[in-house]
Chains A and B, each alone.
Chain A
Amino acid sequence: MNFNNLNQLYRSVIMDHYKNPRNKGVIENGTMTIDMNNPTCGDRIRLTLNVVDEIVEDVKFDGEGCSISMASASMMTESITGKNINEALAMGDEFSKMMLGEDYDITEDMGDIEALSGVTQFPARIKCATLSWKALEKGVKSSDSKL
């Protein structure tokens, strides 16, 4: 049995977010809706946000995907709620650095997202973990004028 290293990937906090996702659903009349697919695997995510005066007042995710992509989305919604949208984007940059195995700066007030650091050992799954963050980035960049 060689499932020991799987435990690095599927840590209990990750499986908890997967099985009990936070902020799952859709915000009606939010300020931002972003759909994103992972074309290589069929995972899809819809992010809806309510951003008021640059502050993420509310964010929800919906979609289907593997445990890593769904847990990452759940963690992200918790991490960015109440944050300035630019701060949220900067958090995404740090998350990407962590995925690439580079030095990163993730602090305790960012929630559970550091639990995904084990994904770096599974290169094929990095795109799963970054899907929701990429969606956030896409949404903010395409609606920059409105903010």
Chain B
Amino acid sequence: MNVNDIRKDFPILDQQVNGKDLIYLDTSATSQTPSVVIDAMTEYYQSYNSNVHRGVHTLGTHATEGYEQARMKVKSFINAKRFEEIVFTRGTTAAINLVARSFGDMIIEPGDEIVVTEMEHHANIVPWQELAKRTGAELNFIPMEADGTLTKNSIEATIGEKTKIVAVTHVSNVLGTINDIKSIAETAHNNGAYIVVDGAQAVPHMTVDVQDLDVDFYAFSGHKMLGPTGIGVLYGKSELLDEMPPIEYGGDMIDFVDLRTSTWTDLPVKFEAGTPMIAEAIGLAAAIDYIREIGPETILAHEKELADYALSRMKSLEGIEIYGPDSRAGLITFNLTDVHPHDLATALDSEGIAVRAGHHCAQPLMKWLGVSSTARASFYIYNTKEEIDSLIESLKRTKEFFSYEF
């Protein structure tokens, strides 16, 4: 894989920010969009923009084909068994909320347990808090080791007979921890529980095979995997999705509507009320093609190389705190001593370097780390070692700047 060639596919990277070449290290928040994705969406709007599943006319047929082909691409990308198992949503958050509302309300009884971890993004905590409140269930947390990993022991000690749902992230958006989903799924199933996985930080970066992992539900977002915003995917085992009631009602999702009662159409459209995200689905399909062309293994290897390089260089800096395990996905969360992450991010931005600063939508995890916020640099296919070198130099200057006696 040639990073310089790849960078040419991302017009946004070729610009200056505050007089410096842009160095984009915030992919974990949102990835950049290659021309092929932008072009696919432009082509849709310029030549076959139409509503799906409705019109008899040619454009409508073409749009429906584009939308449903996108679903087939997602199905094959994550190796789902059937296309009915792929529900398009607004994003990971909407997908997890769908499971909590529909599946959660259906199966959870008072006294049941819902198990999550302390490393979750708010999107994989708050829907379960609310479900627990609605149903009288208990919310339990798998404790983390000091380096931000989960052990088999703690997983098995937390998941028990009363556990009905285990909701866990595949890759932590703060620590970079890669959880062993296959093993957690096995423990959940051995206890008669179902597993829901937040895959937003995993699918863009590694091969995800939902059948091999044996997960019941798996959610991810388009905009973190080179696709557009406004689209995500809920994978669910068809036998579960079949039993679940819709949570939104209206156009497209019905079978037959009478004045006082209606019936629902088949999967997956049962969960896709209203006009769906057609252009976005088509864009997502183009992003999947792009990722497949490079290969998820190649992508992961490149990110690991960058993360290892960045980690070793950052560790050599004085006055830096780095969070998370040594073996991690392509992101590094850190703090400089005596420099608030906001001030740090502003200083880096003044040199054209985009990093995230804040609580990363993971306030319980910030509390666990004992900080109010952190900075995070995250890497993807278009990042280079030279960019990391620039980051290190900027970090040094930032430390120097804020250590002046003003």
Contacts and interface: CB of A to CB of B under 8 A. Distances in A.
A54 interface: no
B223 interface: no
A3 B401 contact: yes
Given A3-B350, A122-B346, A64 B372 contact: yes
B256 interface: no
A15 B404 CA distance: 9
A122 B350 CA distance: 10
A143 interface: no
Contact of B357 (A3, A9, A41, A64): A41
B347 interface: yes
Range, interface on chain A: 20 to 34
Given A1-B397, A67-B343, A125-B342, A42 B18 contact: no
Interface string A1-44: 11101100111101110010000000000000000000011111
B373 interface: yes
Nearest to A41: B358
B350 A2 contact: yes
Nearest to B401: A3
How many interface residues does chain B have, given as a range? Answer: 20 to 34
Given A41-B373, A65-B340, A66-B343, A6 B401 contact: yes
A40 B358 CA distance: 7
Contacts of B18: 2, 5
A6 B372 CA distance: 24
B347 A3 contact: yes
A15 B397 CA distance: 17
Of B352, B357, B373, B397, the most chain A CB neighbours within 10 A belong to: B373
Given A68-B343, A124-B346, A10 B359 contact: no
Contacts of B406: 10-12, 14-16, 19
Interface in B9-30: 18-20
B51 interface: no
Interface in A120-147: 122, 124-125, 128
A64 B357 CA distance: 15
Nearest to B406: A15
A67 B350 CA distance: 16
B366 interface: yes
A16 B18 CA distance: 26
Contact of B347 (A6, A11, A19, A65): A6
Interface in A36-67: 40-44, 64-67
B179 interface: no
A66 B372 CA distance: 10
Interface centre among B18, B340, B341, B358 (most CB of A within 10 A): B340
A6 B340 contact: no
Interface of A: 1-3, 5-6, 9-12, 14-16, 19, 40-44, 64-68, 122, 124-125, 128
List 8 tightest A-B contacts by C-beta distance, closest first: A15-B406, A66-B342, A66-B340, A12-B406, A42-B359, A42-B373, A41-B358, A42-B372
24 contacts: A2-B19, A2-B350, A3-B347, A3-B401, A5-B350, A6-B346, A6-B350, A10-B343, A14-B406, A16-B406, A40-B358, A41-B342, A42-B359, A42-B363, A42-B366, A44-B372, A64-B372, A65-B340, A65-B342, A66-B340, A66-B342, A67-B342, A124-B349, A128-B342
